[in-house]
């Protein structure tokens, strides 16, 4: 099948100097051989804008960078040459507005060409990009703008209206720029860059220079700003190559429904795609629609997708997707929370495609992965350490756990993907480490073949009648039931058992809640797991509370039963 609306792009051999050589896993070989031969390139001089924009604009200015898709699947292409001209003008405009190296520039936009243009301009002048999700509410925006001390923000008309009453609480925010023109205290983007040159010389930078700050979602307390260096992009590339089976290949085309303000959308797809010369699809929407997603991927010819597990579980409810829509995908990656065995098996059986799971967190992302091409794939397990990263499961005393023993997933420093620290929080940064191990707060275990599995976050563990219970195994079992589309498990305080296992379920279309179905589901779990793990309480809900990154907000569920 051909998709004429989308250009077929040849694989990239990054048109850069040796100083910008990418860390590559190739050529294809067994995992152990790839891991042992891998070396990081020199990152002493590295700038994201130069690597993701300038070098292609000079060598192949007409090469597609972003493919914007309209609601009716019409496409518009942003080339590297056009991206550079716009980013260079914007870099001049930032300087004219008083933005200097080290200043924070917020980006509050849905997927679209202005997001990479803004990022490139920020990196060009040595400022720090602060991506903010378009779905953030007023309180979330107000906190991040005040805590970061952002000096300028680029947004759209919707964002400008939302920001107007918040500016009094963000005294350092000097200017709001809207891509939709003047209004609500914002200056229009076109007027902001008017009269400025279309060429700007990217400021030289070190790989260790600050470049990007992403706020963690925060399971407890206020979110913290994880500050990353220019090298963070290079740190992601081996994991992107591994989870997308040696990308780039001819015709590869990236897409993710994840907001480009999230580490997963920005650092797993957008920036790696720009670096590798693989076009990235921009398709903004208000709410994830599984049927429309299948249709869009088929129509546009998406070859490489990153879809978080919650999105994939919703896509499981679509009947006969391959028969109805076709399957243009070459690779499908997923991460952000546990994928689970049922979804893994659905990928193989229904899509005819292995789902390559990967793992990381905002502070140190994409350090574990699966790869069908490397024969690294096991149901119920995340995968193995990505070449270049040293990952282990650690006990509370800082020693490595035995095979099968549960402990905390940890990453050894130094590591190019690791954050510089939390913004203005040196104590919190220090608490993140035991010696040179960055402790993720995620519980896991290693099997006899070196695969690492995720069992839950420290603060998600349930203590019931003396047992420590991870929610992931129970959720995995629940969604195997034919009536269940989404499941979340928490511990509800109980005077006798300390906590009881409590499940929140979203049912598939065609099923209605009832006492009989509740009892059936409870027995379904008890027979497959154990008497202490089945949910003693079940709540049927219409919609699962999710973060902007697609993760379940367990805190909100706990509030409902506390």
pLDDT digits (tens, 9 = 90+) for 515-532: 999 999 999 998 887 777
249 assigned to some structural domain: no
- Beta pairing partners, 491: 501
How many independent structural domains does the chain possess?
1
For position 188, what pLDDT does the model report? 98
Helix H or strand E encompassing 192: helix 189-193
The pLDDT value given to residue 28: 82
Report residue 548's pLDDT band, with 50, 70 and 90 as the boundaries: low
User: pLDDT value at position 546?
Assistant: 82
* In a domain? residue 548: yes
How does DSSP assign 388-421, residue by residue?
A: T--EEEE-TTSSBPPTT--EEEEEESP-TTB-SE
Helix axes 114-125, 80-96, angle to 10 degrees: 60
Tell me if 456 sits within 8 A of 472, measured CB to CB. Answer: yes
Give tens-digit pLDDT for 390-448. Answer: 999 999 888 899 999 989 999 999 999 999 999 999 999 999 999 999 999 888 999 99
In a domain, 486, yes or no: yes
Per-residue pLDDT at 20: 56
Please tell me whether residue 437 adopts helix, strand or coil conformation: strand
Residue 351 lies in a domain: no
Does residue 18 carry a pLDDT above 60?
no
Greatest alpha-carbon pair distance for the chain in Å reads: 72
Identify each DSSP E strand in 28-160 by its residue range. Answer: 64-69, 75-79, 104-108, 128-132, 152-155
CB neighbours (10 Å) of residue 113?
20
What is the C-alpha separation between 110 and 108, in angstroms, rounded? 7
32 pLDDT more than 80:
yes
Report CA Rg, the chain.
23
What pLDDT was estimated at residue 47?
A: 97
Q: Is residue 531, in this structure, part of any structural domain at all? A: yes
pLDDT score of 457:
72
The pLDDT, as a whole number, for residue 555 is 84
Concatenating the DSSP letter of every residue in 256-317 gives -SS-TTSHHHIIIIIHHHHHHT--EEE---SS--HHHHHHHHHHHT--EEE--HHHHHHHTT
Give the pairing type, strands 537-540 and 498-507.
Answer: parallel
E strand or H helix at 445, and its extent? Answer: strand 437-446
Tens-digit pLDDT profile for residues 299-326: 999 999 999 888 898 899 999 999 999 9
CATH of the domain at 490: 3.30.300.30
Give me the pLDDT at residue 24, please.
87
Flag whether 556 is in a domain: yes
* Residue 151 burial (10 A CB sphere; 0-12, 13-18, 19+): buried
Position 219 scores a pLDDT of: 47
In the three-class reduction of DSSP (H, G, I as helix; E, B as strand; rest coil), residue 372 is classed as coil
Q: Is residue 483 part of a domain?
A: yes
User: What is the mean pLDDT of the segment spanning 132-146?
Assistant: 87
Give the C-alpha separation, 392 to 383, whole Å.
12
- The Cα–Cα gap between 461 and 389 comes to 27
Q: List the domain range (segments joined by +) for residue 541.
A: 461-561
Mean pLDDT of 68-90: 97
Residue of 364, 361, 340, 286 whose CA lies nearest to 480: 340
- Output the pLDDT for position 1: 24
Q: How confident is the model at residue 218 (pLDDT cuts 50, 70, 90)?
A: low
- pTM equals 0.85
Q: Does residue 301 form part of some domain? A: no
Mean pLDDT throughout 351-364? 95
Task: Please tell me whether residue 193 adopts helix, strand or coil conformation.
Answer: helix
Closest C-alpha to 243, from 375, 381, 370 = 370
For residue 98, the model assigns a pLDDT of 97
Q: Is the peptide bond before 248 cis (omega within 30 degrees of 0)?
A: yes
* Spatial CA neighbour of 391 closest among 411, 405, 376: 411
């Amino acid at each position: 099948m051909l998709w004429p609306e989308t250009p077929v792009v040849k694989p990239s051999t990054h048109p850069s100097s040796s100083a910008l050589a990418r860390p590559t896993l190739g050529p294809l070989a067994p995992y152990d051989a790839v891991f042992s031969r891998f070396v990081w390139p020199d990152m002493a001089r590295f700038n994201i804008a130069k690597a993701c924009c300038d070098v292609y604009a000079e060598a192949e200015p007409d090469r597609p960078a972003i493919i914007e898709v309209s609601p009716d699947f019409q496409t518009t292409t942003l080339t590297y040459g056009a991206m550079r001209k716009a980013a260079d003008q914007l870099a001049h405009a930032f300087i004219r507005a008083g933005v200097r190296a080290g200043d924070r520039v917020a980006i509050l936009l849905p997927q679209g060409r202005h997001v990479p243009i803004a990022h490139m301009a920020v990196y060009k002048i040595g400022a720090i990009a602060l991506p903010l999700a378009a779905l953030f509410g007023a309180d979330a925006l107000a906190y991040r703008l005040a805590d970061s001390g952002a000096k300028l923000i680029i947004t759209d008309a919707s964002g400008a209206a939302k920001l107007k009453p918040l500016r009094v609480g963000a005294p350092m925010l000097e200017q709001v720029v809207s891509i939709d023109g003047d209004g609500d205290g914002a200056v229009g983007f076109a007027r902001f860059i008017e009269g400025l040159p279309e060429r700007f010389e990217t400021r030289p930078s070190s790989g260790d220079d600050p470049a990007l700050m992403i706020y963690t979602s925060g399971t407890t307390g206020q979110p913290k700003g994880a500050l990353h260096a220019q090298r963070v992009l290079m740190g992601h590339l081996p994991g992107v190559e591994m989870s997308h089976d040696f990308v780039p290949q001819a015709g590869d085309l990236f897409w993710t429904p994840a907001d480009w303000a999230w580490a997963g959308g920005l650092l797993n797809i957008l920036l790696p795609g720009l670096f590798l010369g693989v076009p990235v699809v921009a398709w903004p929407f208000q709410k994830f629609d599984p049927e429309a997603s299948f249709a869009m991927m088929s129509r546009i010819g998406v070859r490489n997708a990153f879809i978080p597990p919650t999105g994939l579980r919703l896509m499981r409810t679509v009947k006969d997707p391959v028969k109805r829509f076709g399957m243009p995908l070459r690779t499908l990656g997923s991460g952000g929370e546990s994928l689970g065995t049922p979804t893994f098996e659905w990928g193989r059986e229904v899509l005819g495609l292995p789902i390559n799971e990967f793992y990381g967190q905002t502070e140190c992302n994409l350090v574990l992965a699966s790869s069908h091409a490397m024969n690294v794939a096991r149901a119920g397990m995340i995968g193995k350490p990505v070449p270049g990263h040293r990952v282990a499961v650690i006990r509370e005393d800082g020693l490595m756990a035995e095979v099968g023993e549960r402990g905390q997933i940890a990453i050894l420093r130094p590591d190019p993907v690791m954050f510089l620290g939390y913004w203005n929080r040196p104590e919190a940064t220090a608490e993140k480490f035991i010696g040179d191990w960055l402790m993720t707060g995620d519980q896991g275990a290693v099997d006899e073949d070196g695969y690492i599995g995720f069992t839950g976050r420290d603060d998600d563990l349930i203590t019931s009648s003396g047992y420590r219970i991870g929610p992931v195994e129970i959720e995995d079992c629940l969604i195997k039931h034919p009536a269940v589309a989404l499941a979340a498990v928490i511990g509800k305080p109980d005077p006798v058992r300390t906590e009881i296992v409590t499940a929140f379920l979203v049912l598939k279309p065609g099923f209605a809640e009832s006492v009989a179905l509740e009892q059936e589901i409870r027995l379904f779990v008890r027979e497959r797991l154990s008497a202490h793990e089945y949910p003693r309480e079940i709540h049927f809900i219409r919609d699962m509370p999710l973060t902007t990154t697609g993760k379940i907000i367990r805190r909100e569920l706990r509030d409902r039963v506390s």
